[in-house]
Amino acid sequence: MRLHKEGTPSIAIVLTVAAVMNLAAFYFAPDLLWLRIAVGVLSAALVYLILQFFRVPARTQTLDERLIVAPCDGKVVVIENTVENEYFKDKRLQVSIFMSPLNVHVNWYPISGKVNYLRYHEGKYLVAWHPKASSENERTTVVIGKENRFEILVRQIAGALARRIVYYPHQGDMIRQGSELGFIKFGSRVDLFLPVGTKLHVQIGQKTTGGVTVLGEVPA
């Protein structure tokens, strides 16, 4: 397991705070052993949590051009046909994955192809499961075209805790399935909009492992 580069500032801040807490407890309460122990346990817990937030575990990815792979860790909370109004402006199959604060927060490309559209939108910070989160929260929309045959849309959505979305592609980039799309700090949600009729391999409530779990099959 390694730590993601996006965590460097946050990890440094937490380590500094933990060190200050322990030094203060040692200096101002040298005779209160119970207090020094409590501060030590609390600071250790904070360090552990921040390291968990930014961990990138070693895993064997699913790399198959015939498949659509989960872009993130989390739980499938939406599967429905809906109208996507930003890019397609027609009916699409929406699959939404909720990322808890304890999930790995890296996002991966679900397929290989070309970035045909990329937009970052400032917005609100509604809870990730709010029905309007996909259209009103801070978000990034990436549309990947597959050899001029079809396109899928991947949308990173900030939530009540997630206050920073990081994305790496540029419009026109050729990207590979399984490489990093970006990072959402402290969890939130990722929506995919697929062609209607896409054969899915997941169901509501199922947990996903980013870069590994097969969401569905690439349309013929």
Give residue 40's region: left, alpha or beta (phi > 0; psi -120 to 50): alpha
| Whether the Cβ atoms of residue 141 and residue 153 lie closer than 8 Å to each other | yes
Half-sphere exposure of 161 (CA within 13 A, CB side): 14
- Which pair of tokens denotes residue 130? 């709010």
* DSSP state at residue 199: P
Of 190, 61, 171, 161, nearest in space to 116 by CA? 171
Half-sphere exposure of 218 (CA within 13 A, CB side): 21
Beta-carbon contacts of residue 50 (< 8 Å; ≥ 6 apart): 7, 10, 11, 14
List active site positions.
188
- Which pair of tokens denotes residue 108? 């991966």
